[in-house]
Every structure is written in structure tokens, then in C-alpha cells.
């Protein structure tokens, strides 16, 4: 018995030693894995910091595609495609030079509006409206009254301001020309709709009404809801905001829940996907020269208060929080926003700046550029010229 007991104790001891070695081995492997992960994280962080802090001084031409453009045509950005239009017609082209559709018409004074990848065109004082996306022609229809202004949603709805003598009509159509909503305004009563905008899903309409009261110009910002919430409201009107002694010629939906309006020296931001409410307001000492926006940012350009720079831009997010102030000299043609940066450009050059205020690139193009488009790669862009589509990478 004593002998068996000794054998069992020895076996138990060996088993404990074996289990202990297994634990030690697992602990060593775990520590090695942790060390490798930490090293990889540090390396990734180092490359990320280098990438974030890298300054670019030139660019490589990665590809170039030949294109043809008529002298009287104009290029504009339609999402990540190129929309080219003239008085005789329009077409859409992807960044590889492929024409996705052509549309012929005759217009003398073109009014248009864009919502992401959808565009609507109409002839000022005419009665034809054309609606297209980057991939196809969505439809066209005829109004019964002359067109003064229009707005389009990404879903393809179009709201048109139509003139009928002393009465101005607001009519919202689907792509086939069916009326979704209509209402009339009078200058002496509700005012004249000087700016309109549809939410991307087409459910909300924002209107800036200008009217005169007691000899003073005033503005009302009105929101209409075409969904179930608006069905229970008179004329689908869900909220209004009054601004005495202020003209508001611009109103834009950034996304389905955020809209902003701009006066000469004032910014108003509204939030809400059903009944918009006033979220934030800014009153500026300087006159706003230009307005640019994406679905996340608003950029307001002013004359500079710095004698060494000509322009100042203040950038706000959808919450109305100012996230950047930048000064620049470039005689800008356009400004576009990306995830955490923005690009200011004209025909001959551009400036790329991060929201933290780091100028990543400032330089000239080799050709005159009509459009500059971002791509899905960081600091890689598409340049549209009169005769080519060039893809460049900053270096």
C-alpha cells in the first residue's frame, strides 16, 4: 500500500509539473502575442502619424483619358461623375470617360438643382423640366405655368416655383410629372419664395419666403412635410421661423435631418427629420461671400480680416459647431469637403487642408482644370479638363 501510495504521489507530482509547464508555455505564448500586437500597433500608429503629418509638394499622373467637349458646354460635378450641359442638351460621363446618357433639349436660361447624384433642369420662364441621375434619365414633364425656380431631391422629386400673375405656386412633382403637393403664395400675404430646397428623400421641403411688413423686408423659413406627419397639418406645414429685417436667399438640406439657411451675415441651422427645429444660429460681422456644403460640413467664405490673406473660410458641422477657420489667397472656383479635409481649387491650382488646419498640398496644375473630384483613395483626385480626364496622386 505504501509503495502504491508513493507511486501515485509521484504521478500526481509529475502531472502537476506537466500542467505547470503547459501554463508557463501558454503564458509565454500569450506574452509573445501581446508583444507582437503592441509592436504592430506602434508601427501602425507611427505610419498613421507620418501619413497625417505628411506634406505633399507635387503629384504623379496615374492615367489620362481623352475626351471631347464642345466650346459652349459647361462641366459640373454630379456626385462622382461629370455632368456637361449647354443650351442644346446635356450628358453624364463617368471618370473613365464613358457616357452614361444623353439628353437633347433647347433652353436659353437654365435653372438647375443637384441632390447628391440627381439633377433637375428647367428653362427659366419655360415649362419643361428634366430629371436625371448619374446612371440614367429619370424623366421629364411639362408644367402649366412658367418656371421661376426649382429644387430636386435625391429620390427624384422636383419642387418648382411657378408664376401666375400676382400668385406664385409651389408644386412638387414625381419624375413622371404627377403632382405630390401644391400651394399658392401672395407677396402681400405669405411672401415670395426666393429660395427652396428638398431633403434627399423628398419628404421635407424648406422655403425661404421674402415679404414686406410695415415697409421692412422680412423672411419666414417654412418647412413642409410630405410624409405621414405632414398629412395631419394644414398645407403640410410643420414649422416656421421668422427673421425680421433679414433677407435669406439661400437654404439647403445637407441630409435628411439637417438643413441650413444663409443671410448676408447670418447662418441658421435646423434639425429634425419630421418637424425641423432651430438648432443653432451665428451672426457675423462680415458679409458672407460664398457658401459650400457637403452632407457633413458647411463652409462660409468671407473677405479676410488678415492683411496677408484675401479670404477666410469658417467650417461648421451638422451640429452647428465650428470645426475650422482657414485663411487663403487662391481665387477659388470651387470648394469641396471630404471626411476630414477640404479642397479649394480654381483652373490653375489647388489647396488641400485638413480640418485640424494642416495644409497638405498647395500647388499648380499642369493643365487648366474645369473640375476636381475626390476619389475613394486618400489624396488621389480626378481632374477634368476640356480634352482629358486625368487621375493624379499627391506625393
Mean predicted confidence (pLDDT) in 109-137:
97
pLDDT at position 189: 74
Q: ∠ CA 294-299-305 to the nearest 5 degrees?
A: 170
The set of cell numbers assigned to 338 is: 471630404
pLDDT value at residue 42: 61
Q: What is the pLDDT of residues 154-182, one digit of tens each?
A: 999 999 999 998 899 999 999 999 999 99
Write down the domain spans for the chain: 1-53, 289-361
User: Rounded to the nearest 5°, which phi and psi values hold at 39?
Assistant: -60, -45
Cell numbers for 145: 405655368
Task: Tell which CATH architecture fits domain 289-361.
Answer: Beta Barrel (2.40)
pLDDT at 210 over 70: yes
Identify the weakest region by mean pLDDT among 26-30, 236-240, 262-266, 344-348: 26-30
All three cell numbers of 246: 433679414
pLDDT at position 20 over 70 = no
Q: Which range is least confidently modeled, 3-7, 205-209, 239-243?
A: 3-7
Is pLDDT of 25 > 90?
Answer: no
Report CA 180 to chain centroid distance, whole Å. Answer: 26
d(CA 163, CA 197): 18
125 in the Ramachandran plot: left (φ > 0), alpha (ψ -120 to 50) or beta? left
Q: Which grid cell is 120?
A: 433637375
pLDDT at site 12: 59
pLDDT at 32: 77
String of DSSP letters for 164-179? ETTEEEEEEE-TT--E
Q: Is 12 helix (H, G, I), strand (E, B) or coil?
A: helix
Model pLDDT for residues 72-120, shown as the tens digit of each residue: 999 999 999 999 999 999 999 999 999 999 999 999 999 999 999 999 9
Exposure pattern of 331-353 as b/e (b: 16+ CB <10 Å)? Answer: ebebbbbbeebbbbbbeeebbbb
The per-residue pLDDT for 51 is 53
Strand partners, 211: 218
Q: Are strands 89-93 and 341-345 parallel, antiparallel or unpaired?
A: unpaired
**Distance separating alpha carbons of residues 165 and 56, to the nearest angstrom:** 57
Q: Is the pLDDT of residue 52 over 70?
A: no
pLDDT one-digit tens code per residue, 243-261: 998 999 999 999 999 999 9
The whole model's pTM is what?
Answer: 0.86
Highest mean pLDDT among 45-49, 254-258, 263-267: 254-258
Half-sphere exposure of 230 (CA within 13 A, CB side): 21
- CA neighbor of 276 nearest in space, from 250, 253, 296: 253
- Gyration radius (Cα) of the chain, Å: 29
In sequence order, the 6+-apart residues with CB closer than 8 A to the CB of 16 are none
Q: What is the pLDDT of residue 291?
A: 98
Q: What distance in Å separates the CA atoms of residue 325 and residue 314, rounded to the nearest whole number?
A: 5
Apex 371 CA angle, 141 and 92, nearest 5 = 35
Amino acid at each position: 500500500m505504501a509503495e502504491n501510495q508513493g507511486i501515485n504521489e509521484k504521478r500526481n507530482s509529475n502531472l502537476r509539473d506537466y500542467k505547470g509547464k503547459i501554463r508557463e508555455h501558454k503564458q509565454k505564448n500569450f506574452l509573445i502575442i501581446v508583444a507582437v500586437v503592441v509592436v504592430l500597433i506602434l508601427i501602425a500608429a507611427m505610419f498613421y502619424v507620418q501619413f497625417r503629418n505628411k506634406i505633399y509638394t507635387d503629384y504623379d499622373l496615374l492615367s489620362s483619358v481623352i475626351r471631347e467637349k464642345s466650346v459652349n458646354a459647361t462641366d459640373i460635378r454630379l456626385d462622382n461623375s461629370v455632368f456637361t450641359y449647354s443650351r442644346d442638351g446635356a450628358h453624364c460621363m463617368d471618370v473613365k470617360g464613358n457616357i452614361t446618357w444623353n439628353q437633347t433639349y433647347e433652353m436659353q436660361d437654365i435653372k438647375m438643382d443637384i441632390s447628391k447624384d440627381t439633377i433637375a433642369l428647367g428653362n427659366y420662364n419655360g415649362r419643361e423640366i428634366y430629371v436625371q441621375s448619374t446612371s440614367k434619365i429619370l424623366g421629364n414633364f411639362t408644367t402649366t405655368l412658367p418656371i421661376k425656380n426649382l429644387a430636386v431631391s435625391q429620390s427624384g422629386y422636383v419642387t418648382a416655383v411657378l408664376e401666375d400673375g400676382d400668385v406664385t405656386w409651389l408644386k412638387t412633382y414625381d419624375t413622371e410629372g404627377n403632382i405630390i403637393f401644391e400651394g399658392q403664395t401672395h407677396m402681400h400675404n405669405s411672401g415670395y419664395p426666393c429660395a427652396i430646397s428638398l431633403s434627399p428623400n423628398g419628404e421635407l421641403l424648406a422655403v425661404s419666403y421674402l415679404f414686406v411688413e410695415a415697409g421692412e423686408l422680412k423672411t419666414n423659413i417654412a418647412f413642409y412635410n410630405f410624409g405621414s406627419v405632414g398629412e395631419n397639418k394644414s398645407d403640410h406645414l410643420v414649422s416656421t421661423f421668422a427673421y425680421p429685417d433679414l433677407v435669406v436667399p439661400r437654404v439647403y438640406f445637407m441630409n435628411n435631418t439637417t438643413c441650413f439657411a444663409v443671410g448676408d451675415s447670418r447662418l441658421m441651422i435646423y434639425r429634425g427629420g419630421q418637424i425641423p427645429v432651430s438648432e443653432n444660429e451665428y451672426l457675423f460681422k462680415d458679409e458672407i461671400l460664398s457658401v459650400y456644403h457637403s452632407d457633413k460640413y458647411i463652409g462660409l467664405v468671407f473677405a479676410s480680416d488678415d492683411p496677408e490673406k484675401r479670404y477666410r473660410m469658417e467650417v461648421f458641422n451638422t451640429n452647428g459647431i465650428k470645426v475650422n477657420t482657414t485663411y487663403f489667397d487662391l481665387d477659388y472656383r470651387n470648394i469641396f469637403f471630404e471626411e476630414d479635409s477640404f479642397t479649394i481649387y480654381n483652373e490653375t491650382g489647388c489647396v488641400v487642408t485638413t480640418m485640424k488646419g494642416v495644409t497638405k498640398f498647395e500647388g499648380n496644375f499642369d493643365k487648366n482644370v474645369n473640375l476636381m473630384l475626390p476619389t475613394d483613395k486618400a489624396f488621389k483626385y480626378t481632374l477634368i479638363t476640356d480634352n482629358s480626364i486625368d487621375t493624379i496622386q499627391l506625393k
